[in-house]
C-alpha cells in the first residue's frame, strides 16, 4: 500500500505514516524530501513527545481529543502509546473518559470514524456496507446508543463506545486495526436535549422501536454474514430488553456476543474465583446478592449458574445462591412486575428492602450494577461487615461517577475488612498504615482475548462455555502478590499476555466443542502470537 502513495499522501495516511521516523532512503523513495524537518526521530522519542504533551493537558477530555487525532495521523504510534502506557491511557480512551466523550461527541467531532446506519438505509444496508474500504473485517462492535455506560440514551453520540472498544481490541489483544469496524445503529434518540442540540450529528427523531427496529438490526446482521462472513459481532450498550432479545435471537445463529451481559459476567466471575483465596469460603458455598437487576447483573448471574453447576450443584441449588434487589426491593416470586430474565431468580420469600435483605439473607458478596452513584450506602457496607468477616463488595457501574461506592468508602466503612473491586479505576487507599490496591473488574480483561481466540479458530458461535473458560483463565493469572495487595485482578500492564492466554484457552475450547471452522494449527499459541498486531516501526 505504501508504494502506491507519494509525498503528502504518505504523511496524511494514518495507517502508514511514521511522521519524522521516515529514514533518508524512505524520504527519497516516497517523495518526502523537503516535506519534513531534517531530523529523523525514532518511535521511542516520538512516544516521549506525545506522553509529555498528554501530561501537559488540563483535562482527560482534552487528552482524549489529542489521542483521537493521533490515531488519525499515525496509527502505529497511537497503539504503541496505548499499549506501553495502558494503565495511564485506558481511563482516557475508555472508561471513565469515554463517557464524557460520548456526552460531548457532537461537540468535539473532528473526523468521521466508523459506519453509521439509520432507518433511511433500510433495504440498502448491504449496498452501503460496500462503501467501507476494508474487505476483511473480523471484529465489529455495534451500539444503538440507548444505554451508554450508566449515562442513558445518548443517540449517535454513543459512537464513542465502539471506537473505544475496538481501540482496546487492538491495544490489548493485537487485533489488526484494518480488521475492526465500529458501527452506530442510529435509530434516533428519546433524549430531547440531545435531539434538539443544534450541533447534534445523529438521526434527529424519536427512537425507532418494535418490529421496524428488529428488522433493521436483522438486515444488518444478515448483511454482515454476506459481506464479512468471518466477522464477530459484539453488541454493546443496548437497553436491557433489546440486549437480551438480540442475544437470544442470534447467539446460536451467528458469531456474536453481548459484552455487557457476557463479558461483564466473565470478568465478575474471575473476580469471585479470586475472592475465595482471601475469604477462604469455597466458591460453591457463596451467597451472592445483586443490587440492580438489568442486563449486566443478570448476565453475571446466568454465568454463575453455569459455573456453580460445574462445581457439582444442581441448577436449582445454584439459583438459590443468587439474590436480586431492584428499585422495588427484593426480587421474589409474588411480584408481578418482573421481566423474563429476572424470573429464574425470583425466590419464595417475603418482600424486603435492601438493608433488610442483607440482614436476612446474609450474602457473602454484594454486587452493584445499578448505574447509580452512592447506591452502596454506609449502612449497607456496615451491615455486610457485620455478617461477614471479609465482605466482598463489587461496585461495577461505569463510569466512575456512577459507581455504587468508591474504594475509599468501602475500605473505610468496613474498617479495612472489605474485599473490593470496581468497574472503573480507583487509586490505592491507605488505612491504618496499610495500603489497599482496589481491583478494577474491567471488561478489557476478557473481551479482547475472547475476540482474538474466536477469530483465530473462526468459531461459528460463542457459547457460554467459552466465557467460563475465559473467566477461569483470568482467575488463574491473579498472582499471590495481587492477592496480598487485595487486588482481585492482575495489573493491566500485563494485558497483552492475559489476552494471549485467554485467546489460546478460548480457541482450544472452540476446537474441543467442534465449533471451530478453521483447521487447528500444529502450534496454536504461536499462530495467535504471529497474528497479533505489532505497533512498532
Question: What are the pLDDT digits (tens) for 193-244?
Answer: 999 999 999 999 999 999 999 999 999 999 999 999 999 999 999 999 999 9
Residue 510 CA to residue 454 CA, distance in Å, equals: 8
Q: Where in the chain is the domain with CATH 3.40.50.10380?
A: 97-254
Nearest alpha carbon to residue 470 among 493, 456, 454, 494: 454
Residues assigned a catalytic role: 94, 165
How far apart CA 332 and CA 343 sit, in angstroms, is 9
Q: Percent of the chain beyond pLDDT 90?
A: 95
Q: Cα separation of 382 and 409, whole Å?
A: 11
Strands (E), 239-364: 256-258, 288-291, 322-326, 329-330
Q: Which fold has domain 1-41?
A: Hemocyanin, N-terminal domain (1.20.1370)
pLDDT category of residue 179 using cuts at 50, 70 and 90: very high
User: Distance (Å, rounded) from C-alpha 259 to C-alpha 447?
Assistant: 7
Cα–Cα distance between 80 and 76 in angstroms, integer? 6
| Residue tagged 468459531 (cell numbers) | 459
- pLDDT for 399 equals 84
* pTM metric for this prediction: 0.94
Mean pLDDT along residues 36-60 = 98
Nearest residue to 274 (alpha-carbon basis) of 417, 475, 468, 467: 475
- Which pLDDT score, from 0 to 100, does residue 268 have? 97
Question: Residue 498 — φ and ψ, nearest 5°?
Answer: -60, -45
- 150: pLDDT strictly greater than 90: no
Q: Across the chain, what does the average pLDDT equal?
A: 96
User: Which position has the grid cell 454493546?
Assistant: 236
Of how many residues is the chain composed? Answer: 537
What does the alpha-carbon distance between residue 212 and residue 298 come to, in Å, rounded to a whole number? 27
- From the list 412, 383, 410, 420, the residue with the least C-alpha distance to 272 is 420
How far apart (Å, rounded) are the C-alpha atoms in residues 204 and 512? 48
How many CA atoms are closer than 13 Å to the CA of 285, on its beta-carbon side?
Answer: 6
**Mean pLDDT, rounded, for 301-323:** 97
Predicted local confidence at residue 304, as pLDDT: 98
Q: What is the DSSP letter of 416?
A: T
Of 172, 270, 234, residue with least CA distance to 503: 172
- In this prediction, residue 535 carries a pLDDT of 97
- 3-state SS assignment for residue 338: coil
Q: Are 365 and 354 in contact (CB under 8 A)?
A: no
What are the distances in angstroms from CA 60 to CA 54, 63, 340, 491? 9, 5, 40, 22
**What is the pLDDT confidence band of residue 320, given thresholds at 50, 70 and 90?**
very high
Domain 262-444 has CATH 3.40.50.720: yes
What is the average per-residue pLDDT within 456-480?
97
For residues 461 and 295, give the distance between their C-alpha atoms in angstroms, rounded to a whole number: 20
The three grid cell numbers given for residue 138, joined into one nine-digit string: 473480523
Q: Is the pLDDT of residue 1 over 90?
A: no
Q: Per CATH, which fold does 97-254 belong to?
A: Rossmann fold (3.40.50)
Residue ranges of the chain assigned to CATH 3.40.50.720: 262-444
Q: Which of 277, 282, 278, 299 is nearest to 290 (CA)?
A: 299
Residue whose C-alpha is closest to residue 67's, from 9, 16, 11, 110: 110
Cα–Cα distance for residue pair 171/449, rounded to 1 Å: 11
Start-end ranges of CATH 1.20.1370.30 in the chain?
1-41
Q: How far is it between the farthest Cα atoms of the chain? A: 80
Phi, psi of 113 (to 5 degrees): -135, 135
Please name the residue that has the C-alpha cell 489483544.
Answer: 173
Q: Kindly provide the residue ranges of all beta strands, DSSP E only, lying in 344-484, ordered along the sequence.
A: 365-368, 392-395, 419-422, 429-431, 434-436, 439-440
**pLDDT score of 146:** 98
Confidence (pLDDT) at 4: 81
Query: Any residues with CB less than 8 A from the CB of 189 and at least 6 apart, and which?
Result: 145, 146, 153, 154, 155, 156, 195, 202, 203, 206, 207
Give the whole-angstrom CA distance, residue 13 versus residue 75: 9
Model pLDDT, residue 3 = 56
Ordered DSSP codes for 457-476 = HTBS---HHHHHHHHHHHHH
Distance CA 527, CA 507 (A): 11
Residues β-bridged to residue 253 = none
Please state, in angstroms and rounded to a whole number, the distance separating the CA atoms of residues 532 and 169: 10
Q: Residue 7: pLDDT band by 50, 70, 90 thresholds?
A: very high
Note the pLDDT tens digit of each residue in 358-416: 999 999 999 999 989 999 999 999 999 999 999 999 999 988 889 999 999 999 999 99
Amino acid at each position: 500500500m505504501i508504494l502506491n502513495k507519494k509525498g503528502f499522501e504518505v504523511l496524511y495516511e494514518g495507517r502508514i505514516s511514521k511522521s519524522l521516523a521516515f529514514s533518508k532512503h524512505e524520504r527519497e523513495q516516497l517523495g518526502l524530501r523537503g516535506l519534513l524537518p531534517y531530523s529523523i526521530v525514532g518511535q521511542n522519542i516520538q512516544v516521549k513527545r506525545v506522553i509529555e504533551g498528554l501530561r501537559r493537558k488540563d483535562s482527560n477530555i482534552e487528552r482524549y481529543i489529542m489521542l483521537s487525532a493521533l490515531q488519525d495521523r499515525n496509527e502505529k504510534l497511537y497503539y504503541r502509546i496505548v499499549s506501553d502506557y495502558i494503565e495511564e491511557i485506558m481511563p482516557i480512551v475508555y472508561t471513565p473518559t469515554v463517557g464524557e466523550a460520548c456526552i460531548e461527541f457532537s461537540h468535539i467531532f473532528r473526523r468521521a470514524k466508523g459506519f453509521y446506519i439509520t432507518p433511511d438505509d433500510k433495504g440498502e444496508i448491504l449496498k452501503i456496507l460496500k462503501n467501507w474500504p476494508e474487505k476483511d473485517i473480523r471484529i465489529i462492535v455495534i451500539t444503538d446508543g440507548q444505554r451508554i455506560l450508566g449515562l442513558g440514551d445518548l443517540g449517535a453520540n454513543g459512537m464513542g463506545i465502539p471506537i473505544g472498544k475496538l481501540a482496546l481490541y487492538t491495544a490489548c489483544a493485537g487485533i489488526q486495526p484494518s480488521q475492526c469496524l465500529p458501527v452506530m445503529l442510529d435509530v434516533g434518540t428519546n433524549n430531547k436535549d440531545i435531539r434538539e442540540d443544534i450541533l447534534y450529528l445523529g438521526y434527529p427523531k424519536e427512537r425507532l422501536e418494535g418490529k421496524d427496529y428488529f428488522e433493521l438490526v436483522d438486515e444488518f446482521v444478515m448483511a454482515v454474514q454476506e459481506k464479512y462472513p468471518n466477522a464477530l459481532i459484539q453488541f454493546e450498550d443496548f437497553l436491557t430488553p433489546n440486549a437480551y432479545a438480540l442475544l437470544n435471537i442470534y447467539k446460536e445463529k451467528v458469531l456474536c456476543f453481548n459484552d455487557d451481559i457476557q463479558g461483564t459476567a466473565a470478568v465478575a466471575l474471575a473476580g469471585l474465583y479470586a475472592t475465595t483465596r482471601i475469604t477462604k469460603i469455597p466458591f460453591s458455598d457463596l451467597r451472592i446478592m445483586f443490587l440492580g437487576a438489568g442486563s449486566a447483573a443478570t448476565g453475571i448471574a446466568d454465568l454463575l449458574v453455569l459455573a456453580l453447576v460445574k462445581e457439582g450443584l444442581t441448577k436449582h441449588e445454584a439459583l438459590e445462591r443468587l439474590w436480586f434487589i431492584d428499585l422495588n426491593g427484593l426480587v421474589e416470586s409474588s411480584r408481578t412486575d418482573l421481566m423474563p430474565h429476572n424470573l429464574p431468580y425470583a425466590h419464595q420469600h417475603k418482600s424486603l428492602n435492601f438493608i433488610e435483605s442483607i440482614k436476612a439473607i446474609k450474602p457473602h458478596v454484594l454486587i452493584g450494577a445499578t448505574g447509580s452513584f452512592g447506591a452502596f450506602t454506609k449502612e449497607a457496607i456496615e451491615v455486610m461487615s457485620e455478617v461477614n468477616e471479609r465482605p466482598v463488595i463489587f461496585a461495577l457501574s461505569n463510569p466512575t461517577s456512577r459507581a455504587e461506592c468508591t474504594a475509599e468508602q468501602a475500605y473505610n466503612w468496613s474498617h479495612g475488612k472489605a474485599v473490593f473491586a470496581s468497574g472503573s479505576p480507583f487509586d490505592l487507599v491507605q488505612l491504618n498504615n496499610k495500603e489497599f490496591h482496589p481491583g478494577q473488574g474491567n471488561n478489557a480483561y476478557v473481551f479482547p482475548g475472547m475476540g482474538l481466540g474466536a477469530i483465530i479458530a473462526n468459531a461459528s458461535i460463542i457459547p457460554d462455555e467459552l466465557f467460563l473458560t475465559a473467566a477461569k483463565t483470568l482467575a488463574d493469572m491473579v498472582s499471590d502478590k495481587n492477592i496480598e495487595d487485595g487486588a482481585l485482578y492482575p495489573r493491566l500492564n500485563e494485558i497483552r499476555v492475559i489476552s494471549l492466554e485467554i485467546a489460546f484457552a478460548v480457541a482450544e475450547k472452540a476446537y474441543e466443542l467442534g465449533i471451530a471452522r478453521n483447521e487447528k494449527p500444529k502450534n496454536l499459541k504461536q499462530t495467535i502470537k504471529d497474528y497479533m498486531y505489532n505497533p512498532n516501526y
